[in-house]
């Protein structure tokens, strides 16, 4: 695939966060189109030391309701987005990871 096929995107950033922050995170990302042009929201459950079990149901099950957002991005924008997220939310329960994007296209 050529860079033209990938439309300049060179990575995918995944953001994981508690369900309670869903609307705030979505609004935040929509307010920053200079870094994020679109994203996919995925329902997930988190387990382990990095989650904050809040509700009785979560405590009994041992897992937290979370959301994942996948964003195709330019690697140069990742650090800017992470810094803005830290400033706005400052949450130990929010995590992110970045993976290389080898190709992207539409099935048409």
pLDDT digits (tens, 9 = 90+) for 76-95: 999 999 999 999 998 888 99
Dihedral sign of CA atoms 20, 91, 77, 105 in order: negative
Distance, CA of 52 to CA of 49 (rounded, Å): 8
The answer for residues whose C-beta is within 8 angstroms of residue 83's C-beta and 6 or more apart is none
**For residue 25, what pLDDT is reported?**
97
Question: What residues form DSSP beta bridges with 67?
Answer: 17, 43
107: helix, strand or coil: coil
The whole-number average pLDDT for the span 59-72 is 78
- Report phi then psi at 41, rounded to 5: -105, 130
The answer for residues whose C-beta is within 8 angstroms of residue 9's C-beta and 6 or more apart is 72, 73, 74, 101, 104
Give the largest CA-CA distance in the chain: 50
The whole-number average pLDDT for the span 21-41 is 95
Confidence class for position 43, pLDDT limits 50, 70, 90: very high
């Amino acid at each position: 695939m050529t860079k033209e096929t990938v439309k300049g995107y060179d990575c995918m950033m995944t953001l994981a966060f508690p369900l309670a922050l869903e609307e705030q995170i979505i609004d935040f990302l929509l307010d920053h189109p200079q870094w994020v042009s679109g994203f996919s929201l995925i329902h997930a459950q988190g387990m382990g030391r990095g989650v904050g079990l809040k509700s009785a149901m979560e405590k009994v099950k041992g897992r937290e309701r979370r959301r994942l957002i996948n964003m195709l991005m330019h690697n140069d924008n990742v650090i800017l987005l992470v810094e803005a997220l830290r400033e706005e939310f400052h949450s130990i329960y929010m995590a992110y990871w970045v993976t290389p994007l080898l190709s992207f296209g539409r099935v048409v």
